[in-house]
Amino acid sequence: MIRPRLSKVASGTKLTTDLVNGIINRTEYAADLLRQYKLVAGNGMYVEPHYDGTRVSYLQPVAGGATPRGLIISGNGSSPTPPTIVPNNGSNPAYPATFDEFFAFYGDTDTSADNATGTPTGEIYINLDLHNSNFAIYIKRNNYVSPPGGVLFAGGSFFAVQFPDYGQAAGRSFNGSRWEIRILNPGDVIGIAHNLDEAVAIQDKFKSGQI
């Protein structure tokens, strides 16, 4: 309820209850406005109170800080079972419960049983196509990208990525392989790539800590 503006008083004016109540009502009017304007962030947003105003931002964590950047799975290839990433459908609560196109990961694989002591030679890239909600996974080994078109998954659907990499023959030994997968938290964005070159550029920045 809007309360009327207070009028100045003249010398000798009696301090009446009407005057006091007018002051109280006008004060409460201002307080009510401020209560209404208190900002509460909705989903996927946060509010930063600053001394000179309130800023609203999307949830988009940046590098650094105390919050872990994402789930890190790593191993030395001795595990008998390659890791499986199970996103989105909630069937595996050990992994992120939600999973959308705003994610990226990279990995290093050296899956060759013939090169058990070799350094990682494989890299994984992801191509995010926001227009049709599809994304593709590219695996690069020794400068050879396989498969050429990437592995296309329907956005938001269940899929599993197994390591050693996609090109590994079924049943081949994992011994000696090294892998590391980093899955960013849901909502994290490190960049959007529409082709392999863009993905490489984004990944290089990510790995070097620039993003």
Binding site for other proteins (CB under 8 A): 5-13, 15, 19, 23, 26-27, 29-31, 33-45, 47, 50-52, 54, 56, 58
- Compute the least distance from the CB of residue 37 to other proteins, in Å: 5
Instruction: Identify which of residues 51 and 170 has a Cβ nearer to other proteins in the complex.
Output: 51
Which residue, 39 or 97, is less far from other proteins as judged by CB?
39
- Work out how close the CB of 184 gets to other proteins at its nearest, in angstroms, rounded to a whole number: 19
- Of the two residues 40 and 169, which places its CB atom closer to other proteins in the complex? 40
Distance of CA 8 to the CA centre of its chain: 56
Amino acid 60 reads: Q
Q: Which residues, in sequence order, are CB contacts of 17 under 8 Å at separation 6+?
A: none
Nearer to other proteins, 41 or 201 (CB): 41
Shortest Cβ 100–other proteins spacing (Å): 11
Using CB atoms within 10 Å of the CB of residue 100, give its burial: 0 to 12 exposed, 13 to 18 middle, 19+ buried. Answer: middle
Give min distance, CB of 7 to other proteins, in A.
8
Minimum Å distance from CB 130 to other proteins?
Answer: 10
Based on CB atoms, which residue is closest to other proteins, 11 or 208? 11
Angle at CA of residue 89, ends 154 and 124, nearest 5°? 50
Torsion angle of the four alpha carbons 73, 76, 80, 82, in this order, in degrees rounded to the nearest 10: 40
User: What is the SS3 assignment for 62-110?
Assistant: CCCCCCCCEEEEEECCCCCCCCECCCCCCCCCCCCCCCCCCCCCCEEEC
Structure tokens at 74: 């790593």
Q: Which is it for the CA torsion 186, 188, 194, 199, positive or negative?
A: negative
Cβ atoms of 48 and 55 closer than 8 Å:
yes
| Closer by beta carbon to other proteins, 7 or else 143 | 7
| Minimum CB–partner distance for residue 48 and other proteins (Å) | 11
- At which residue do the structure tokens 């900002």 appear? 39
